[in-house]
Structure 1
Amino acid sequence: MVARERILDVALKLFRIYGVKGVTMFDIARDCGMSKKTVYEHFSDKQSLIDLGMQQLLNTHSAYFQETHTAAENAIDELVRSMKYITNMARSFNPVMLFEIQKYHPDTWKNIENFQRDCILYGITENLKRGMSEGLYRQNLDLNVISRMRQLQLDAAFDQLQYPPDQFDMSAVMEQITAHFILGIATIKGHKLVNQYLQIKEEE
């Protein structure tokens, strides 16, 4: 791994664990096993690391969701796969990172908001359409309402005020709200599939 890639990888790991405010360029250099001068040769400041790191993270998420949409057998399979991905991500993710980016780095946060609209909200809407066409979701769903409700659920799971990390495990929260969401929109046919997928998940 070249120095620039290593610096970015380490910085993103530290941001995800500790948030962005408390991580210094010295911390990043130390964990990379290189001098701070070397880090600055590749990145002018911490802001550039935050911007590039978040963009890389968003690109990874976007690629996964696109791949899942293609590979999933049906809409419920797609939704469960996405839930597992988000749950696994949540286990190594400190919600304070998003809070600090929103508060201290508005330009970076704008990119995250664009991702939430162009990727997350769009993906939720497309999944709803797919499930309805497959007869797995109820036909009377209002796509604009339900898609935004699901997005709000996802946002809330990462909100420390709603689910304080010392009281809630984020992955458990994500699993609960997703199961509730699927069961609420599924048809009888869909419910049978949901129960199968949830059973498989429990056995894993």
Structure 2
Amino acid sequence: MVKERILETALKMFRIYGVKGVTMFDIARDCGISKKTVYEHFEDKQALVGEGLQQLLTNHGDYLKDNIQTSTNAIEELLNSTRYMTNMAKTLNPVMLHDLQKYHPDIWNNVERFKSDGVLHGIKENLKRGMTEGLYRQTLDINIVARMRQLQLEAAFDPEQYPADLYEMQNVMDQVTAHYILGIATTTGQQMANQFLK
């Protein structure tokens, strides 16, 4: 119970302030426990960061699996997962990702693996589903289109491509997703997509 509270608090603080700017003392104080108690559950900050990030990735993976089961078709599945990612990005300070890359490269490798194994695989499966349902064009090259979509998502989340003071994240995601769906959809798929995209 205490361990879960520490993890939850640490993740919340990392998402707001970045990883480097948060100390074990800060986490202990925010939890209302001693620093010694934090160290009883986590050997050091590296261990806490690693476990916290793994939990984030696991939650994300679980959501994507559930979404496949509960969505009535490929387009609904795609739009739900895009909304989920957008909402998650809104609560994430880009400094956290920068800190992970710079100060915790081993942990960052897990993010890169998740992007290639989890996200890219999920995009390919969604394309296959949409083609089977007759909502996406049969002529799509799944490997090319999936990679294109992944690059599109990475660009949408990149503050260098879409600076926050000039672009609203929700609008960027809505625009790139509408462009993507209407580009891969059959006539039937486009009609369905237009109902969701209004």
Interval of TM-score (by shorter of Structure 1 and Structure 2) = over 0.9
Which residue matches 1:140?
139
- Contact 1:87–1:175 (CA under 8 A) maintained in structure 2: no
- How far off is 1:51 after superposition? 0.3
Gaps spanning 5+ residues in structure 2: where? none
| Distance in structure 2 (CA, Å) of the matches to 1:194 and 1:128 | 14
| Distance in structure 2 (CA, Å) of the matches to 1:121 and 1:149 | 10
Corresponding position: 1:159 with 2:158 = yes
- How far off is 1:117 after superposition? 1.2
Q: In the alignment, residue 100 of structure 1 is paired with which amino acid? A: D
| Distance in structure 1 (CA, Å) of the matches to 2:58 and 2:22 | 23
- Contact 1:136–1:189 (CA under 8 A) maintained in structure 2: yes
Mapping 1:42-191, distance limit 5 Å: 42-191=41-190
Q: In the alignment, residue 21 of structure 2 is paired with which amino acid? A: G
| Distance in structure 2 (CA, Å) of the matches to 1:148 and 1:82 | 17
Which residue matches 2:193?
194
- Contact 1:96–1:160 (CA under 8 A) maintained in structure 2: no
| Distance in structure 1 (CA, Å) of the matches to 2:19 and 2:74 | 36
- How far off is 1:168 after superposition? 2.6
Gaps spanning 5+ residues in structure 1: where? 200-204
Query: Where has structure 1 moved over 3 Å in runs of 4 or more?
Result: none
* TM-score, scaled to structure 1: 0.93
| Distance in structure 1 (CA, Å) of the matches to 2:169 and 2:98 | 15
- Contact 1:76–1:131 (CA under 8 A) maintained in structure 2: yes
For residues 11-30 of structure 1, give each alpha carbon's deviation from its aligned partner in whole angstroms, at most 9, with x where no partner exists.
Answer: 00111111111111111111
- Contact 1:76–1:194 (CA under 8 A) maintained in structure 2: yes
Q: In the alignment, residue 197 of structure 1 is paired with which amino acid? A: F
The alignment of Structure 1 onto Structure 2 pairs a total of residues equal to: 198
SS at match of 2:197: helix
For residues 40-61 of structure 1, give each alpha carbon's deviation from its aligned partner in whole angstroms, at most 9, with x where no partner exists.
Answer: 1111111111100010000000
* Percent of pairs with identical residues: 63
| Distance in structure 1 (CA, Å) of the matches to 2:100 and 2:106 | 9
- How far off is 1:123 after superposition? 0.4
Which residue matches 1:202?
none
* TM-score, scaled to structure 2: 0.95
| Distance in structure 2 (CA, Å) of the matches to 1:168 and 1:47 | 34
| Distance in structure 1 (CA, Å) of the matches to 2:101 and 2:60 | 19
For residues 183-204 of structure 1, give each alpha carbon's deviation from its aligned partner in whole angstroms, at most 9, with x where no partner exists.
Answer: 11111111111111123xxxxx
For residues 159-194 of structure 1, give each alpha carbon's deviation from its aligned partner in whole angstroms, at most 9, with x where no partner exists.
Answer: 222222333332332222111111111111111111
| Distance in structure 2 (CA, Å) of the matches to 1:169 and 1:50 | 29
Q: In the alignment, residue 111 of structure 2 is paired with which amino acid? A: I
SS at match of 2:122: helix
| Distance in structure 2 (CA, Å) of the matches to 1:193 and 1:48 | 46
